[in-house]
Amino acid sequence: MRARWLACLFAMGLSSSLAAAEPKPVAVDTKPIRDELLVLQDAGGGTYVVRPGKDARAFYGTAKVLHEQVVIGRSANGDAWGITIWAPRIAELRPGSIDRKADGTFQKHCDGKDDPLLSQLTGDKAKAILDKAQFLSTAMVRRPHLLGRDDSGVYYYVDVIAKQYGGKGYRVFVGKKGAMKELPLTDVASDSAGEVFATKSGDLRLVGGPAGAPAAKVTWIRGEKRTDLIGLDLDVNSRLIFRDLGVYKFTGTICDNI
């Protein structure tokens, strides 16, 4: 009886540690840079709040909620400038951008698939957004950790909570594109030999080498059956991960709808 009781307590503790509460974006204080912010909108009501310059920043969303973008570069040429933004749903690692042209017009670029001209809001209209909108950190609270595929087109994917939001907190998904299903974890082991992600049934494990390495040995083990998987590069397959697999419905980026 005592052994059973201790086993139940252990199981409850393990389940709690593996199923930690999902983190959420947090508020961003824009007051220190408020006077440097430009407010832009597209014809569909998408709102862009940007701070051009050396320490460029950008937010995107609705007039009520805007998520900070991951700025990966900037450019300037006289009065013209550009802010380059990570856009994981664009193929071949191409980024999105928000640009001011030499003629004073503004445009969003998403690889030619959604490149509207943007109008600048000034005066009371800009003030209303800066005063009332909720500015949040990036909506992508998780990052890819491991991706593999078998010869029949079944994908095995692991993501993890981003360091910005605390790190750890793995999830495992298995299935074909657009039909991935999350498998509850019972244990995670990580050491110099690699990683093991054991699922709830106890006989499903994902074994991988260094995270993200395309040549890493990835194996799916179910009971006595072992299936060697093709390890896929996380960056090269960013579009597949963030769009085609169907795991992420909302990324909060300027090219979210691509």
| 69 touches 47 (CB < 8 A) | no
- pTM recorded for the entire structure: 0.87
Residue 211, pLDDT score: 55
| 217 touches 206 (CB < 8 A) | no
> Of 20-24, 195-199, 207-211, 240-244, which range is least confident?
207-211
Percent of the chain with pLDDT over 70: 87
Q: CB atoms < 10 A from the CB of 169, how many?
A: 21
CA quadruple 132, 26, 44, 109: dihedral sign:
positive
Which band of pLDDT confidence, cut at 50, 70 and 90, is reported for residue 216? low
Distance CA(199)–CA(15), nearest Å, equals: 11
Antiparallel, parallel or unpaired: β 134-136 and 65-68: parallel
Rounded mean pLDDT of 192-202?
80
Residue 5, pLDDT score: 39
Rounded mean pLDDT of 7-18?
42
Please state, rounded to an integer, the average pLDDT across all residues of the chain.
88
Which band of pLDDT confidence, cut at 50, 70 and 90, is reported for residue 176? very high
Please say if the pLDDT value at position 20 is more than 80: no
Each residue of 207-244: b (16+ CB within 10 Å) or e?
Answer: bbbebbeeebebbbeeeeeeeebebbebeebbbbbbbe
Dig out the tokens for 98 from the structure: 């928000």
Rounded mean pLDDT of 138-164?
95
Please say if the pLDDT value at position 104 is more than 70: yes
Residue 127, pLDDT score: 97
Which regions of 22-64 does DSSP assign to beta strands (E)? Answer: 38-41, 47-51, 57-61
